[in-house]
Amino acid sequence: MKCPFCGYSESKVIDSRPAEEGASIRRRRECLSCGKRFTTYETVESLPMVVMKKDGSRQSFDRRKVLSGMIRACEKRPVPLADLERIAGEIEQDLQNSMEREISTEDVGEKVMERLRKVDQVAYVRFASVYRQFKDIDTFKEELNKLLLENE
């Protein structure tokens, strides 16, 4: 690791510890030339994912967008933010594990609905009504009937 102070390429690790809830490792280093100390972070390199939107455009996958959609669906519902953050992380991890670099918004939406259904059914219906663009009350009623049949 190159020293940020003198540019020397040799350093020794003084301390290592997990950072960012285990997502990276924080290392305290000391330059073998000038003796100054600096910190580095080691993280797993993830491959970029591209989301194909319904209109044909593409954009980078953004976990925050998934989380904000779930937060809106769970507004005034007894769902802890920590649960939604965990779900967003699970969805991102599932998508990374699939090794697909291009994913459709439909795939992302289905994963969100699948998890919201287990956490809060009202939030699930809210999300589904926007995501599936319910046109009228009959479409809404059909989705509610599916939920009722699952609960029996």
Q: Where are the domains of the chain?
A: 11-43, 50-151
The pTM assigned to this predicted structure is 0.64
Q: Please list, in sequence order, all residues whose beta carbon lies within 8 angstroms of the beta carbon of residue 90, skipping any fewer than 6 positions away.
A: 115
* Residues 79-132 pLDDT 10s: 999 999 999 989 988 988 888 889 999 899 999 999 998 999 899 888 888 877
- Cα 111 to Cα 66, 73, 129, 134: the distances in Å are 10, 14, 15, 18
Residues 48-61: tens digit of each pLDDT: 899 999 899 999 99
pLDDT at 45 over 80: no
As a whole number of angstroms, the distance between CA 70 and CA 65 comes to 9
| pLDDT classification of 10: cutoffs 50, 70, 90 | very high
* Percent of the chain's residues with pLDDT above 90: 59
Residue 43 scores a pLDDT above 90: no
